[in-house]
């Protein structure tokens, strides 16, 4: 049974204007005409023929025919919930973001958890990365923290994202396997893409099969910037720490649960919120002063690297509580449009090339997924902050903009000034100085693909290490092309010889004698071959 009274916040109240509740009401057509008989179509005589005139039949069937929209190209399977966020103490020394200044201020949020590879109807229990997307409806506009439950990513440059996703998704000829990474195209790509090694260590670990969405960490992955009112900038990594702790299920448990209840995570989240056991996470930040940008033996702009917590501790600065289920899955969870480019004053980007490419991708995909340029007006996406600008028209426009002019500058009134005093607020991009040649290449500081993969492996307990070995053995055991299996064992030998030997043993394959230098397709045109030699496998 649903809680009698669902907790309200500024955003859920604002959405009331769109809520509809039919119980006890008369049925009507979409143009408001009451319907007395919704079961028999209009016919010439009781046995037909049916009449084209029947606008009730035509309207009902037409709407039904158009009910589906495309699922997300990735992260198609997901579950959402409303909640609130509060900062513990003002972070004004680091950022001017309003929602991080006032401990008494409750900022409404909508969160969507997801798997990445499977389609909308796939199982929750797949071995996969989980999305952890948070939309903060702040007084200064929406801030979306579009993260995952793993702190790193497969690739260093967004230009490779379509290749990664084509390799991960079911194979193009037979659409097999659904929601699983145990197949040739995935491991072919991974074994040719050494930068993905750290991420596949996480993917083969217990982190990839969470016990519950409520028991997962979340990470913003990229290094972002905080900017304070004085214009000073610090680098920042975002974390979510679940107060229930981090828990996983074992692989055989996952398979059992999958068979019995593919909605296991969705149901768990829904039921917990319904019974008032509201899931909570603390927001964590790792802050690196600008002056320390080059202090580490990895590049802060490289999204395949963590900042080890021993080097920069995570400070817990606020709390997120999910306390209300959506009223309607499609209207809220499915139509939610997260975008890493939705930032507010005080939060800014870095030059991480994966982050930069994402800035393009989200709005672009939502233009087709949600049918045109006005999806920001959909209730779940619309900010609680006011929206005034000169953008107009387009499919499904809801806003009725008054006034004669929709351009700037204008002298007739009605438009909005292009320039407002800085003191009135507004987003100003951090004026980072850039002086460089245009070049398609990667910095050498991005080339160490194995140290952190090894660090991760060594951080695991013995049972966890065994789970990793079992996962690699199981997954690679499904790969039909022996050369791909062998190449992957070569990669693993660069992480740890005993890991490679254990997987090779399970697959009855040899371990390469000397670690083999893997192919790297991003060999920069101007690189010094003495420093960096790709070797063909």
Chain positions 160 to 199 lying near ligand HEM, rule: CB under 6 A, are 161
Selection from 214, 231, 235, 209 nearest residue 223 by Cα: 235
Task: Note whether 329 binds ligand HEM by CB under 6 A.
Answer: no
Nearer to ligand HEM, 258 or 361 (CB): 361
- The single residue among 91, 125, 145, 158 that binds ligand HEM, judged by CB under 6 A, is 158
C-alpha 154, offset from chain centre:
14
Of 27-35, 293-301, 360-368, 491-499: span binding ligand HEM (CB under 6 A): 360-368
- The single residue among 77, 82, 96, 112 that binds ligand HEM, judged by CB under 6 A, is 112
Q: Is 258 exposed, middle or buried (0-12, 13-18, 19+ CB in 10 A)?
A: middle
Task: Note whether 467 binds ligand HEM by CB under 6 A.
Answer: no
Number of residues that bind ligand HEM (CB under 6 A): 28
Of 34-42, 331-339, 444-452, 470-478: span binding ligand HEM (CB under 6 A): 331-339
Selection from 145, 276, 269, 294 nearest residue 215 by Cα: 269
Least Å distance, CB 364 to ligand HEM, is 7
Task: Note whether 15 binds ligand HEM by CB under 6 A.
Answer: no
Residue labelled with tokens 């194979």: 171
Nearer to ligand HEM, 131 or 194 (CB): 131
Residue 354 in contact with residue 306, Cβ under 8 Å? no
Would you state the structure tokens that stand for residue 327, as one six-digit string?
Answer: 């009223």
Residue 242 in contact with residue 281, Cβ under 8 Å? yes
Would you state the structure tokens that stand for residue 489, as one six-digit string?
Answer: 């064992």
Residues taking part in catalysis: 75, 148
Residues 6+ apart with CB under 8 A from 433: none
- The single residue among 15, 133, 179, 248 that binds ligand HEM, judged by CB under 6 A, is 133
Tell me if 153 is assigned to a ligand binding site.
no
Residues 6+ apart with CB under 8 A from 47: none
Task: Note whether 210 binds ligand HEM by CB under 6 A.
Answer: no
Name the residue whose CB lies closest to ligand HEM. 131
Task: Note whether 147 binds ligand HEM by CB under 6 A.
Answer: yes
Tell me if 316 is assigned to a ligand binding site.
no
Task: Note whether 363 binds ligand HEM by CB under 6 A.
Answer: no
Least Å distance, CB 238 to ligand HEM, is 11
Tell me if 112 is assigned to a ligand binding site.
yes
Least Å distance, CB 500 to ligand HEM, is 27
Question: How many beta carbons lie within 10 A of that of residue 57, not counting itself?
Answer: 16
Nearer to ligand HEM, 345 or 353 (CB): 353
Task: Note whether 200 binds ligand HEM by CB under 6 A.
Answer: no
Q: How far is CA 474 from CA 252, 434, 485, in A?
A: 11, 47, 11
Residues 6+ apart with CB under 8 A from 209: 125, 127, 248, 249, 250, 251, 254
Tell me if 72 is assigned to a ligand binding site.
yes
Residues 6+ apart with CB under 8 A from 247: 210, 211, 212, 215
One character per residue 217-256, x = contact with ligand HEM (rule: CB under 6 A)? ----x-----------------------------------
Tell me if 161 is assigned to a ligand binding site.
yes
Residue labelled with tokens 């230009």: 159
Task: Note whether 380 binds ligand HEM by CB under 6 A.
Answer: no
Chain positions 29 to 88 lying near ligand HEM, rule: CB under 6 A, are 72-75, 78
Task: Note whether 361 binds ligand HEM by CB under 6 A.
Answer: yes
Q: Is 379 exposed, middle or buried (0-12, 13-18, 19+ CB in 10 A)?
A: middle
Nearer to ligand HEM, 78 or 141 (CB): 78
Task: Note whether 338 binds ligand HEM by CB under 6 A.
Answer: yes
Nearer to ligand HEM, 112 or 169 (CB): 112
**Using alpha carbons only, how large is the chain's radius of gyration in Å?**
26
Distance CA 145, CA 521 (A): 31
Residue labelled with tokens 């193009």: 172
Selection from 449, 532, 383 nearest residue 191 by Cα: 449
Nearer to ligand HEM, 359 or 509 (CB): 359
Residues 6+ apart with CB under 8 A from 363: 339, 341
Residues near ligand HEM (CB under 6 A): 72-75, 78, 112, 114, 131, 133, 146-148, 153, 158, 161, 221, 303, 336-338, 354, 357-358, 361-362, 365-366, 369
- Output the known binding site: 72, 112, 161, 358, 362, 369
- Output the known binding site for heme: 72, 112, 161, 358, 362, 369
């Amino acid at each position: 049974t649903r809680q009698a009274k669902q907790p309200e916040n500024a955003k859920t109240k604002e959405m009331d204007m769109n809520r509809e509740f039919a119980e006890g009401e008369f049925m009507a057509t979409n143009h408001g005409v009451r319907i007395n008989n919704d079961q028999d179509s209009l016919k010439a005589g009781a046995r037909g023929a049916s009449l084209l005139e029947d606008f009730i039949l035509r309207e009902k069937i037409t709407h039904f025919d158009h009910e589906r929209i495309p699922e997300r190209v990735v992260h198609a399977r997901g579950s959402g919930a409303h909640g609130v966020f509060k900062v513990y103490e003002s972070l004004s020394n680091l950022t001017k973001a309003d929602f991080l200044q006032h401990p008494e201020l409750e900022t409404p949020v909508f969160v969507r958890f997801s798997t990445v590879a499977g389609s909308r109807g796939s199982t929750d229990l797949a071995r996969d990365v989980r999305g952890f997307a948070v939309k903060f409806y702040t007084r200064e506009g929406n801030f979306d923290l579009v993260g995952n439950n793993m702190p790193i990513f497969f690739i260093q440059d967004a230009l490779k994202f379509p290749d990664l996703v084509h390799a991960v998704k079911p194979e193009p000829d037979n659409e097999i396997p659904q929601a699983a990474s145990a197949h040739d195209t995935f491991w072919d790509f991974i074994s040719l893409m050494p930068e993905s090694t750290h991420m596949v260590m996480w993917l083969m670990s217990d982190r990839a099969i969470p016990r519950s969405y409520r028991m997962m960490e979340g990470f913003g992955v990229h290094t972002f910037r905080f900017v304070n009112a004085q214009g000073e900038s610090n680098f920042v990594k975002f974390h979510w720490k679940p107060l229930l702790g981090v828990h996983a299920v074992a692989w055989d448990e996952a398979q059992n649960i999958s068979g019995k209840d593919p909605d296991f995570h969705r149901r768990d989240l829904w039921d917990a919120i319904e019974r008032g056991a509201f899931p909570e996470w603390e927001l964590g930040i790792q802050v690196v002063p600008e002056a320390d940008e080059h202090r580490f033996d990895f590049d802060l702009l490289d999204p395949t690297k963590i900042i080890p917590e021993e080097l920069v501790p995570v400070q817990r600065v606020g709390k997120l509580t999910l306390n209300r289920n959506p009223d309607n899955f499609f209207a809220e969870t499915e139509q939610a449009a997260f975008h890493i480019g939705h930032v507010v004053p005080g939060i800014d980007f870095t030059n991480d090339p994966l982050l930069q490419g994402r800035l393009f991708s989200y709005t672009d995909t939502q233009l087709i997924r949600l049918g045109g340029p006005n999806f920001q007006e959909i209730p779940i996406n619309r900010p609680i902050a006011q929206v005034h600008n000169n953008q107009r028209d387009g499919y499904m426009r809801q806003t009725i903009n008054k006034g004669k002019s929709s351009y700037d500058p204008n002298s007739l009134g009605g438009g909005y000034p292009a320039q407002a005093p800085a003191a009135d607020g507004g987003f100003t991009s951090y004026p980072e100085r850039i002086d460089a040649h245009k070049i398609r290449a990667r910095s050498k500081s991005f080339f160490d693909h194995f140290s952190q993969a090894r660090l991760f492996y060594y951080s695991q307990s013995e049972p966890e290490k065994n789970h990793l070995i079992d996962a690699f053995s199981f997954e690679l055991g499904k790969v039909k092309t022996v050369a791909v299996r062998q190449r992957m064992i070569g990669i693993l030998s660069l992480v740890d010889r005993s890991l490679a030997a254990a997987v090779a043993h399970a697959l009855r394959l040899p371990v390469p004698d000397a670690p083999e230098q893997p192919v790297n397709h991003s060999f920069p045109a101007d690189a010094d071959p003495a420093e960096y030699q790709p070797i063909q496998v």
